[in-house]
Amino acid sequence: MAVERTLIIVKPDGVQRGLTGAILSRFEQRGLKIVGMKYMQVSRELAEKHYEVHREKPFFAGLVEYLTMGPVVAIALEGHNAIEASRNTIGATKPQTAAPGSLRGDFALDINRNLVHGSDSVENGQLEVSNFFSEAELITRTAADDAYLA
């Protein structure tokens, strides 16, 4: 089984609405392990880099505004099948179609304020984690429940 890394971002609306803990707990309960975490203001430069693939989209400017409108909590998570599992925990991009039980399905209403980011491929997971964290900020550890999660 594949151990993967994903970058989760509690977007500014999630932080302002006091949902950081609720969001983090869903991932922790799922069995994903924190390897990096910080409360930070995303710069315009980092936001543009993070959403580079969307640069030509009509929503790009608004998206950069959104990610930089207030502080976020960036979390690097590691675990078996971390990418697919976390994408499913987050739910569909459009919150109004996201399944109940998913974060967006339970806590969000509109695509412009969809609460949380999660990497969409193993390759992007590695890349996005390294855009937000230095090597020294990423700390791996063995956990007591490792043997019960795979």
Binding site for ligand UDP (CB under 6 A): 54, 59, 63, 93, 111-112, 114, 117, 120
Note if 50 is an active site residue: no
Helix (H, G, I), strand (E, B) or coil at 107: helix
Instruction: Supply the angle between the helices 122-132 and 82-90 in degrees, to the nearest 10.
Output: 80
Q: Which is nearer to ligand UDP, 121 or 130 (CB)?
A: 121
Which of positions 70-129 make contact with Mg ion (CB under 5 A)? Answer: 120
Rounded-to-integer distance, Cα 33 and Cα 80, Å: 10
Amino acid identity at 37: M
Q: Return the residue nearest ligand UDP (CB atom).
A: 93
Other Cβ atoms less than 10 A from the Cβ of 9: the count is 23
Nearer to ligand UDP, 54 or 55 (CB): 54
Q: Which of ligand UDP, Mg ion, none binds 34 (CB below 5-8 Å, type-dependent)?
A: none
CB of 120 to Mg ion, least distance (A): 5
* Among candidate residues 15, 17, 36, 34, the one with its CA nearest the CA of residue 26: 34
Residues that bind Mg ion in the complex, under the rule CB under 5 A: 120
